[in-house]
Amino acid sequence: MSDPIQLGLVGLGTIARNQHLPSLEDVPALQLAAIASRHAGHETLPSYHDIDEMLAKEPGLQAVSLCTPPQGRFAQAAAAINAGKHVMLEKPPGASVSEVEGLARLAREKGVTLFATWHSREAAAVEEARELLAGARVKRATITWKEDVRHWHPGQEWIWQPGGLGVFDPGINALSILTRILPDPVHPVSAQLEVPENKQAPIAAKLEMETASGAPVAAEFDWRQTGPQTWDILVETDGPDVLLREGGAKLFVGGEPRISAEDREYRRLYARFAELIAAGESDVDLAPLQLVADAFLLGAQTRVEAFHDNP
């Protein structure tokens, strides 16, 4: 067996601690060797203030995983690629489509792997839903994606700034599943974005889309839901309806339960990253980010009442 790939992790926030760190422990092809974070350090690993310091002091690193906010990530990824490192990007892969396209071109020039990840595509039921829909005629699809921003992003101001995507930060997860499971590509027809008075990104959005074959797709995203959270995608077909619940962890076909499984999304992402590196390939699917960009372009923005406290 070959030695594990030496990996540096940039960003040590909630998603890194809850998902990336435990997932890396279960992927023997990768070995976490260093951390770069402005606000935190690892208990047992070398920790640096930023990616430039980490790259300078850890020349043995072969790959870098970026868990930082999308704003500013282009410079971090470009630094790693220019240093000859393979790069994995947390979703959304960048603040704009053109940024990530530029990184993909740079990675090709430098001969390294770039992996733009969509963790929700790795949910347990997504691939079976894709297989079920491959031979079906889709009549309609409906996304309902509602959660509580104060629970998932307390005090994180970057999500409300340009490039932070607002409610599309979780909503892009739904779009990543949608673009994976439908047999036809989709494009937005109209978008309504609700933007708080004191913010620059939407807290809620409604999209009307169509598949290439003309089937309507409706999506509703909202960050104001309290209590139980809703992450559902319903696809009506000429056969049994296909329903994904809990972000793709559960599958119902014709109303009957088919799959319910634990979360192993990030373990699958890191295993895939190692496979791409071994094969000398990249995976940069920007369809979900392009839909968000189109939504902002088409969006009729409605300003809503400002928050009375910090979201």
Length of the chain equals: 311
Cα distances (angstroms) measured from residue 40 to each of 35, 37, 103, 118: 9, 6, 27, 25
Amino acid of residue 235: V
149 contacts 164 by C-beta, under 8 angstroms: no
Which residues are catalytically annotated?
Answer: 91
d(C-alpha 154, C-alpha 22), whole Å: 22
- The per-residue DSSP string of 223-253 comes to SB--SS-EEEEEEEESSS-EEEEGGGTEEEE
- The per-residue DSSP string of 174-211 comes to HHHHHHHH-SS-EEEEEEEEEEETT-SS-SEEEEEEEE
Cα distances (angstroms) measured from residue 53 to each of 10, 76, 158: 11, 11, 23
Amino acid of residue 101: E
d(C-alpha 124, C-alpha 103), whole Å: 29
36 contacts 54 by C-beta, under 8 angstroms: yes
Coil, helix or strand at residue 81: helix
Strand partners of residue 8: 34, 64
**Given the structure tokens 């089937």, which residue do they identify?**
215
- The per-residue DSSP string of 94-127 comes to -SSHHHHHHHHHHHHHHT--EEE--GGGGSTTHH
